[in-house]
Amino acid sequence: MEVIDIADVELQLEELVDEVEQGKNFVISQDGVALARLIPTQKASVRKPGSLKGKIHFNESDDNSHLENFRDYM
């Protein structure tokens, strides 16, 4: 991981972001002390509607005794 001073980050941010998009990581420092890391984010996975169809099951029951504790709120 390359260390870069915060003053240089201010001058080169656009170029650094381009490099981060390509997978490069940087440590941002000030006066030789590491402050932060500039790393690529993880790409969000694409959700597919209906992908859990048939995988979630509910027990159907007329037993509502578990709701007794919530009667005041209903």
| Model pLDDT, residue 42 | 80
pLDDT at residue 18, as a whole number? 94
**What pLDDT is stored for residue 45 in this prediction?**
76
Residue 41: per-residue pLDDT: 87
Q: Of 3.40.1620.10, 3.40.190.10, 3.40.109.40, 1.10.1740.10, which CATH number belongs to 1-40? A: 3.40.1620.10
Please count the other Cβ atoms lying within 10 Å of the Cβ belonging to residue 34: 11
| Dist. CA 62–CA 25, nearest whole Å | 57
- Encoded tokens for 25: 């990581």
Its pTM surpasses 0.85: no
Q: What is the pLDDT of residues 6-35, one digit of tens each?
A: 999 989 999 999 999 998 999 999 999 999
* Domains of the chain, residue spans: 1-40
Digit-coded pLDDT (tens) for 42-63: 876 788 888 888 888 777 777 7
